[in-house]
Chains A and B, each alone.
Chain A
Amino acid sequence: MTSAESIIVDGRRVALDEDGHLADPEQWTSAFARALADRDGIELSADHWWLIEFVRDYHETYETPPLMRVVVAALRKARNDSSIGSRELYRLFSDNPVRDGCRYAGLKKPDWCI
């Protein structure tokens, strides 16, 4: 990370928390995700945006992040492709797709140990 405390989004400084997630989830915009991607050296594809929006919608509905198996099932359905597995998600975010999905979606780092 270039800064553990903040990131510049559309010329405005936005605070991050100690985990590198958006300090105030209410401040999330798609520009925040793009700024994060610029900083991380990632080019956000349509699949990245699908994951970000899925995680945001899921959290809005259930107040928790989705399980990986739920994301995989949803991506299969969205792409109408039963061959899709977790590998496709790890190609988007190689460390932890759901956790990074939360980070890009402006959500807090999940504090559970699943």
Chain B
Amino acid sequence: MGQGDSDKVIFLIRAAPGSTSAVATQRAIRATSAVPSRAVTVFFHGEAVAAARGPAADWGGHHQSTAVQLLVCQAAWTRRFDDEPAAGFRTSSLVEFWTHVLAADQVGSVGDEALSESCVLRIRDISSDRDATEMLEIVLAGASLEIDLDVLFEAEAVAFLGAKPARKWRQLVDHGLATIWYVGDVDAVDGLQLAARPLDAEQIDDLIRGRILIDL
């Protein structure tokens, strides 16, 4: 338990409403908010901000003593919509997201104990340049708070490291803001534009152990 009477749990959701990932996360949020005495925060980012056009009740707590706070990234929202989020949602900042992460007892649905101020951000898929930019903004917001950050590229996302938009990410390494790792075929990052470090699959547990893991 953290400070106060409730367990503080935060979810980051980036997938578009209705997608397999979003539905799974929503299910996890419902399960979490069904437990009494939880203070649940849901932070909508990327394509997920479209959820704030629908009823907040879809994300609400299912127990009287459970409070669910629905926060929508202001920048991600204004890039997509001209109106205001629906009642029950509140616009917020990435800095506020990280503040919640650091104060949380649990981050996401996998039960990670937020025991440290050290985080691993895992990226497995990047759907577009905007998706990549908005993921980078999450990393930069964490870096602005001087959080110890590692970014782990896996699976399909590894190919991004060799792409032109990856130059934006180079600042993380050049200015000591985060360490970037990748797991995968070295050929896939031939022509690497980033000073990313290779990691064996069996080393992932060592990287993650004792740290907050956030899947972007």
**A interface list, Cβ under 8 A from B:** 58, 61-64, 66-70, 73, 111-114
B90: Cβ under 8 A from any A Cβ = no
Knowing A67-B144, A73-B175 touch, does A114 contact B78 (C-beta < 8 A)?
no
- A29–B73 Cα distance when bound, in Å, is 34
**Given A61-B167, A111-B78, A112-B140, list of 18 further CB < 8 A pairs?**
A62-B167, A62-B168, A63-B167, A63-B168, A64-B140, A66-B175, A67-B143, A67-B144, A67-B177, A68-B144, A70-B171, A73-B175, A112-B75, A112-B141, A113-B73, A113-B93, A114-B95, A114-B137
B37: Cβ under 8 A from any A Cβ = no
Knowing A111-B78, A114-B137 touch, does A69 contact B143 (C-beta < 8 A)?
yes
Knowing A62-B167, A70-B175 touch, does A113 contact B95 (C-beta < 8 A)?
yes
B74: Cβ under 8 A from any A Cβ = yes
What chain B residues lie within 8 Å of A112 (beta carbons)? 75, 94, 137, 140-141
A97 vs chain B, min Cβ distance (A):
13
B79: Cβ under 8 A from any A Cβ = yes
**B interface list, Cβ under 8 A from A:** 73-75, 78-79, 92-95, 136-137, 140-141, 143-144, 146, 167-168, 170-171, 175-177
- A68–B93 Cα distance when bound, in Å, is 16
- A111–B75 Cα distance when bound, in Å, is 6
Q: How many A-B residue pairs have CB under 8 A?
A: 54
- A113–B92 Cα distance when bound, in Å, is 8
Q: Are A114 and B141 in contact (CB under 8 A)?
A: yes
Q: Are A114 and B93 in contact (CB under 8 A)?
A: yes
What chain B residues lie within 8 Å of A62 (beta carbons)? 167-168, 170-171
Which of chain B's residues has its CB closest to A63's CB? B168
16 contacts between A and B (CB under 8 A): A61-B170, A61-B171, A63-B167, A64-B136, A66-B171, A67-B143, A67-B177, A69-B144, A70-B175, A70-B177, A113-B75, A113-B92, A113-B93, A113-B94, A114-B94, A114-B137
Knowing A112-B137, A113-B95 touch, does A69 contact B146 (C-beta < 8 A)?
yes
- A68–B78 Cα distance when bound, in Å, is 23
B98 vs chain A, min Cβ distance (A):
10
Q: Which 5 A-B pairs have the closest CB atoms?
A: A113-B93, A62-B171, A113-B75, A113-B74, A112-B75
- A112–B176 Cα distance when bound, in Å, is 21
- A64–B78 Cα distance when bound, in Å, is 18
- A73–B176 Cα distance when bound, in Å, is 10
What chain B residues lie within 8 Å of A73 (beta carbons)? 175-176
A5 vs chain B, min Cβ distance (A):
21
What chain A residues lie within 8 Å of B95 (beta carbons)? 113-114
B175 vs chain A, min Cβ distance (A):
5
B54 vs chain A, min Cβ distance (A):
22
Q: Are A111 and B79 in contact (CB under 8 A)?
A: yes
A109 vs chain B, min Cβ distance (A):
11
